[in-house]
Amino acid sequence: MFFSKGKEIWSLDSKFREDIEDKVRLQLEICDLLQGFSLTVDINSGFGSLGNSIVNNILKDESPKSPV
């Protein structure tokens, strides 16, 4: 029921999306040798769909060779 709420926020609020992208990019820049990236979220909530959007839209583009 709430899974689609995270995707709605991701697609409708560009300011929120840019803030999340900046925070993830900052974390990636801090890493000296990125060997992988773990994201733990509750899959039955809006955070699950938001986490899915982060993985598909940011992490796979920024670090394509690192496992997620």
Contact 24, 59 (CB under 8 A): yes
Judged against a pLDDT cut of 80, whether residue 21 lies above it is answered with: yes
Chain centroid, CA 4 distance in Å: 15
Judged against a pLDDT cut of 70, whether residue 68 lies above it is answered with: no
The Cα–Cα gap between 33 and 41 comes to 24
* Model pLDDT, residue 34: 73
* Model pLDDT, residue 41: 79
Judged against a pLDDT cut of 80, whether residue 4 lies above it is answered with: no
Burial readout 17-26 (b: 16 or more C-beta within 10 A, e: otherwise): beebeeebee
The average pLDDT across 31-39 equals 76
